[in-house]
Amino acid sequence: MVRPETRRYGVNTPCIQVECPGADTLVFDGGIGLHWLGNALLAESFGSGKGKAHLFFSHTHWSHIQGVPFFVPLLIPGNSIHLYGRAGLYGMQKVLCDQMNPAYCPVPDFFDDAIGAQVDVSELGKSPIRLGSLLIEYAEIGQLHGSPRLGYRISDGMNALAYIPAVEYLNDAVREAARALANDADLLIHDAYYSDEEYPTQQGRGHSCPRQALELAQGASAKRLLLFNHHPERSDQALDELANALNSAELPVECGRERGVYALEER
Ligand SMILES: [Zn+2]
């Protein structure tokens, strides 16, 4: 059901694509938006089994992986799709495979070697990932009930983008790790699940609010802030108000929009 009051920003769970000239397709988080992204990619090399994608998960809560079974490029032989993340005790492979259990999911299990694309799963340890000229760094920014959360930084030697979609600043270690990821970033995509007024009553639930996102952006000298991972009940008007309250010439602030495109200016 499309509610008129959420039409502009949308309510799909988190999924972003990062496009870099000459690079493979990069995706961060596999919320339900991944289904729509997959359909768009079918018009490109993924439709003919020649696509290559790398999908990085911030964590494995359902809202960040539930689009994976519905990412159609996974069903097409010849595509190569690499999934990366950290799932702590259970391991990424098991967490993602469990979601394919036929009790929950009608889609053929593309983790089976005989079905669909070449699928690789990597549990992220400590080393950054290098993909051509791109460097993908990550850091653990806390855990919730034993489930680790990662933030990412994608850079090409010129521009940098930081992606921190789920974080709660309960200690200095988390703050420091997030600040390092966002350091001097051209764009910081940051959790703003709660409003500033809601946050004090929601502490310990693993999310942050716009004021904390702004503090991190300012402390890290990020150039631009995109508030992200909105509460699904937040209306378009309420999101406009959150961003307008923080927006300034020194540090532009917007809310992430469904299918929004955000270009980084070349340095
Ligand atoms: Zn979560």
Looking at the chain, the whole-number percentage of residues with pLDDT higher than 90 is 92
Confidence of residue 266 (pLDDT cuts 50, 70, 90): confident
Structure-block tokens of residue 237: 């008007």
Nearest Cα to Cα of residue 151 among 9, 243, 29, 8 = 29
In angstroms, rounded to a whole number, what is the distance separating the alpha carbons of residues 212 and 21? 32
Per the prediction, the chain carries an average pLDDT of 95
Looking at the chain, the whole-number percentage of residues with pLDDT higher than 70 is 100
| Contact in structure between 52 and 23 (CB atoms under 8 Å) | no
Radius of gyration of the chain (CA): 18
- Ligand 1 center–CA 108 separation, angstroms: 26
- Ligand 1 center–CA 58 separation, angstroms: 9
CA angle, corner 58, sides to 246 and 42, nearest 5?
100
**Residue 3's pLDDT is what?**
86
The 10s digit of each residue's pLDDT in 48-68 is 999 999 999 999 999 999 999
- Ligand 1 center–CA 165 separation, angstroms: 9
Sheet order of strands, 253-255 included: 129-131, 134-144, 147-155, 160-164, 187-191, 225-228, 253-255
Give the 3-state secondary structure of residue 97. Answer: helix
**Segment (H or E) for 122:** strand 118-123
**Residue 214's pLDDT is what?**
98
- Ligand 1 center–CA 205 separation, angstroms: 9
**Residue 187's pLDDT is what?**
98
Q: DSSP string of 178-204?
A: HHHHHTT-SEEEEE--S-TTTGGGSTT
**Residue 218's pLDDT is what?**
98
Whether pLDDT at 265 is above 90? no
Largest pairwise CA distance in the chain: 54
The 10s digit of each residue's pLDDT in 113-123 is 999 999 999 99
| Contact in structure between 115 and 108 (CB atoms under 8 Å) | yes
**Residue 207's pLDDT is what?**
97
Please state which of the ranges 1-10, 20-29, 70-79, 112-121 shows the lowest mean pLDDT. Answer: 1-10
- Ligand 1 center–CA 149 separation, angstroms: 8
Structure-block tokens of residue 198: 């809601």
Which DSSP category does 124 fall into?
-
- Ligand 1 center–CA 148 separation, angstroms: 10
- Ligand 1 center–CA 144 separation, angstroms: 8
- Ligand 1 center–CA 225 separation, angstroms: 21
Strands 134-144 and 129-131: antiparallel
| Contact in structure between 128 and 138 (CB atoms under 8 Å) | yes
- Ligand 1 center–CA 174 separation, angstroms: 16
Whether pLDDT at 1 is above 90? no
Query: Per-residue pLDDT averaged across 134-145, rounded?
Result: 95
Confidence of residue 146 (pLDDT cuts 50, 70, 90): confident
**Residue 89's pLDDT is what?**
85
- Ligand 1 center–CA 219 separation, angstroms: 24
The 10s digit of each residue's pLDDT in 165-196 is 999 999 999 999 999 999 999 999 999 999 99
The 10s digit of each residue's pLDDT in 196-245 is 999 999 999 999 999 999 999 999 999 999 999 999 999 999 999 999 99
Whether pLDDT at 2 is above 90? no
- Ligand 1 center–CA 29 separation, angstroms: 11
Query: Per-residue pLDDT averaged across 1-10, rounded?
Result: 87
